[in-house]
Chain A
Amino acid sequence: MQDQNLGVFGVFALLSVLAVGGGSAVLPEMKTLVVETHHWLNDDQFRDIYGLGQMAPGPNMLMVIVIGYHVTGFLGAFLAFFGFFVPAGLISFIGSRLWDHFEGSPWRRALQDGMAPLVVGLMIAGVIAIARTAINDWATLALAVGVFLGVAFAKRVNPSLFILAGGLIGLAALR
């Protein structure tokens, strides 16, 4: 049990440091570690828990708490949260104080321009990772395309309403 706790902390602390470009950039690696390497969840549970996370306000990767909870209960939940958010928070704290020293360095611009497409690529890989578990048939594909169009074009509508609608459509389809 103790090893499991250490494992949860270790996995999410590693993901925290690797989360260049934000949460969805690290989704494929998270899925690999959580589902394939450690077998803490299966594909469907990973999809379900990712979906749960989309229904809460605040940072969109708070679902790591639920993954930790599945492994070792409330301690696991805390360790997953602490591991995923605190290392990156400390890096931000120190990094933002150092950043100003590089003001005007041409390499700062190079870093931003070069990393931008890499981050977009990682985000697309994140979409693919979730899609592989969440899109299983024409109905789920149609739902995803509908929400994509909704979020892209109905910009005044809060995106979380589309997520809620997705859940209701899922329920209705079952009935």
Chain B
Amino acid sequence: MTKVREADRSGAAPRASLPEIFWAFLVIGATSFGGGVVAYLRNVLVIGRGWLDEEQFLSALEIAQALPGLNATNMSVIVGDRLRGPPGAALAFIGMTAPGAALVMALGVLYASNAENPYVNAGLIGVGAAAVGMLSAVTFQIGRKQLAAPIDLAIILVTVTMVSFFHISLVIVLLTVGPLAVLIYRPRPGGVGAQPPE
């Protein structure tokens, strides 16, 4: 059954071997500096290797974004599984995380032994401020559509207020705002799909 489904999903795409999957994700994991892993994934999986077509890539991305966890690792698990089942998922995940994890570990050990060094501190104060700038730009790019829609903007403001100003636990925010937001976008009778009435 698993075999049949994998065949269905991968369609006519060339079959990837396990070492090829590991190597492809290792390269993405080692080169995707500066966030935006999705663009690197698309370059390698769709354009470079041709393992997925645009539509298959977007459908995997849609799932990766809807489930908890990071897009990068979720995509590695989902695409690895579709290409080669559980071993593919495991190898893609390891390839995706190993290079960055090794570098972060090395930086972390250096940081722990140099935490009092004024140059290290000054450098990291700059890095921290720059990271705020980058994260806000990424957030703005991802949220552009939602920030411009009044209903979405209201949901955003409620969420930010609860988390940042009232320090309400994330579990509670997810369990209250989540169902409410889905209810707002609930499927309407007579409508096609879940589009709210125009």
Contact = CB atoms under 8 A, between A and B. Distances in A.
A56 B105 CA distance: 10
Interface in A122-147: 122-131, 133-135, 139-141, 143-147
Contact of A130 (B30, B122, B132): B132
B21 interface: no
A126 B107 contact: no
A88 interface: yes
Interface residues of A, number: 103
A59 B70 contact: yes
Interface in B130-177: 130-143, 145-147, 149, 151-153, 155-160, 163-164, 167, 169-171, 173-174, 177
Contact of B127 (A18, A55, A91, A151): A55
A112 B194 CA distance: 10
A97 B147 CA distance: 32
Contact of B181 (A57, A117, A127, A169): A117
B194 A134 contact: no
Secondary structure call for the A interface: helix
Interface of chain B: mostly helix, strand, loop or mixed: helix
A6 interface: no
Contacts of A110: 182, 185-187, 194
Contacts of B71: 22
Interface in A113-127: 113-118, 120-127
A76 to B, nearest CB: 11
Contact of B69 (A52, A69, A85, A173): A85
A166 B97 contact: no
A61 to B, nearest CB: 6
Contacts of B134: 54, 147-148, 151, 159, 162-163
Contacts of B127: 48, 51-52, 54-55, 163, 166-167, 170
Given A29-B170, A167-B123, 19 more contacts: A24-B135, A28-B170, A55-B107, A66-B105, A66-B108, A95-B63, A96-B78, A118-B173, A123-B143, A134-B125, A140-B129, A144-B136, A151-B133, A159-B34, A159-B35, A162-B133, A162-B134, A166-B131, A170-B122
Interface of B: 28-37, 60, 62-74, 77-78, 81-82, 86, 89, 93, 96-97, 99-101, 103-105, 107-109, 111-112, 115, 118-119, 121-143, 145-147, 149, 151-153, 155-160, 163-164, 167, 169-171, 173-174, 177-178, 181-187, 193-195
Interface of A: 16-24, 26, 28-29, 32, 45, 47-63, 65-66, 69-70, 77, 81, 85, 87-89, 91-93, 95-97, 99, 106-107, 109-118, 120-131, 133-135, 139-141, 143-152, 158-163, 165-171, 173-174
